[in-house]
Amino acid sequence: MKFWDIVRGANSNLLRNKGRSFLTILAIFIGSFTIIMTTGVNNGVNTYIDKQMNSAGGEGYLEIMRESSTTSGLGGMSNEVQEYSAEDNSMASMLITSKDIDKIRAVDGVETAKAWTMLQADYITSASTDKKFTIDLAALPSDTIRIDMAAGRAVAINSTTPEITIADKYVKPLGFSSNEAAIGKKVKVAVTNQISGEMTEVELTISGVTNPSVIGMGRSWVNDRASHALSDQMLAGMPAEYKNQSYFAMAQLKDDWLTDDKIQQVKDDLKEMGFTAMTVEDQVGMIKTFFDAVTMILTIFGVIALVAASIGIINTLFMAVQERTREIGLMKAMGLGRGKIFAMFSWEAVMLGFWGAALGVGLAYLIKVIVNPLAGETFLSGLPGFTLIEFNPVTLTVIVLIVMTIGFLAGTLPARRASKKDPIEALRYE
């Protein structure tokens, strides 16, 4: 019997008992579909993160925290009453002071370091509008971080002009006719003094308009000059020590310290001093790790479904072998070898796997076609370029092949039983 006859025969044999075959295929389909969708979404997320990573830049940029502050969150949630320890739990020990900054600057490989100034702006407005809008501000930590600009340029950190970039969505509300028209214009940002509660407006110059992106989503960036002007207003009247404290610091590494080994060395040095340092990659890596874990869990569910489905395959084929005992006997009498009988039933199992997986691919593709544009218009509208579900033909092929292999493995038991049937016994079977 020729290979294609076996494959075609397998398919037509599956059609002999349509209901039973369909239910078995359905079970395989559920498992395959779960795995395909999960990898599809994971692929979409990872592709997007990679894209963002490549455009984010930030080579040699480190964000630094006190080591204790990374664990205090968990410590706070603990059910145990924890004993006070001056080193670990006090708020003071989580802060980074100007002395710490000096120490960080002294670490080998660190070009520069500074405290991350907390900026809480009340509103932003301009001369061309009466309205005031809330705004999320942050001081641009490093020149190496690339910002996706729609127009103009990023703020120059060391410029003597207080500069700001605004997200493109602010352009129209602030009364500018276009992104380009906004460049060089002045805006006013209001901050409230922490002691007097008095609100002051600070005038900033727009250096550029940003595109929306996942890194610093829609945030407005200011340069050092602007950030000092704002924080001076916020913190006026406070003790100097307090002004110089921060929860975060950032450091920029020297240009010749950008290899993985050297970055690790700096991180280790900082760790010894009681700081945790993270690169942009580390931060994105955390998001990735999270998604990978979710993918893993869902994939395990899919695999469990497939294992259950393969028991279905075994069952279906055992029934088929039983029903076709006489046919098996006849074919053996007519000279069909054991290997071919085994192949016939294995291929039925493989085809069950194939159709289940193919159905999974089909539906997953349909969902991709329908959901991707919908997601783009709704909950992902803020993240242009993010396609929620993305399929990689190689991955899909591999999944289909794996499911077919699972089918084959499940089929070996019934196929073996079929191949071992004695033709005389089989023909006598009623």
- Name, in order, each residue with C-beta under 8 angstroms of 283's C-beta and a sequence gap of 6 or more: 63
Cα of first residue to Cα of last residue in the chain, in angstroms, is 26
The H or E element containing residue 418 is: helix 393-419
Q: Which C-beta is closer to another protein: that of 57 or that of 423? A: 423
Residues of this chain that bind another protein (CB under 8 A):
1-2, 5, 9, 16, 326-327, 329-331, 333-338, 340, 423-424, 427
Select 295 or 346, whichever has its Cβ closest to another protein. Answer: 346
Question: Hey, how many other C-beta atoms are within 10 angstroms of the C-beta on 288?
Answer: 17
Q: Report in angstroms how near the CB of residue 22 gets to another protein at its nearest.
A: 17
CB of 320 to another protein, least distance (A): 13
Minimum Å gap between C-beta 27 and another protein is 25
Q: Please, which residue, 9 or 274, has the CB nearer to another protein?
A: 9
Could you tell me the smallest distance in angstroms from the CB atom of residue 352 to another protein?
19
CB 275 within 8 A of CB 64: yes
Query: Token pair of 179, please?
Result: 């992104």
CA 247 from chain center: how many Å?
26
* CB of 303 or CB of 427, closer to another protein: 427
- Which of 164, 321 has the CB closer to another protein? 321
Q: What contacts 24+ positions apart, CB below 8 Å, involve 280-289?
A: 280/53, 280/56, 280/57, 280/58, 280/61, 280/145, 280/215, 281/53, 283/63, 284/49, 284/52, 284/53, 284/56, 287/49, 288/45, 288/46, 288/49
Nearer to another protein, 8 or 172 (CB): 8
Residue 395, number of CB atoms within 10 A of its CB: 16
Query: 222 by DSSP, 3-state: which?
Result: strand
CB of 416 to another protein, least distance (A): 16
Query: CB of residue 309 vs another protein: minimum separation in angstroms?
Result: 26
- Structure token pair of residue 343: 């192949």
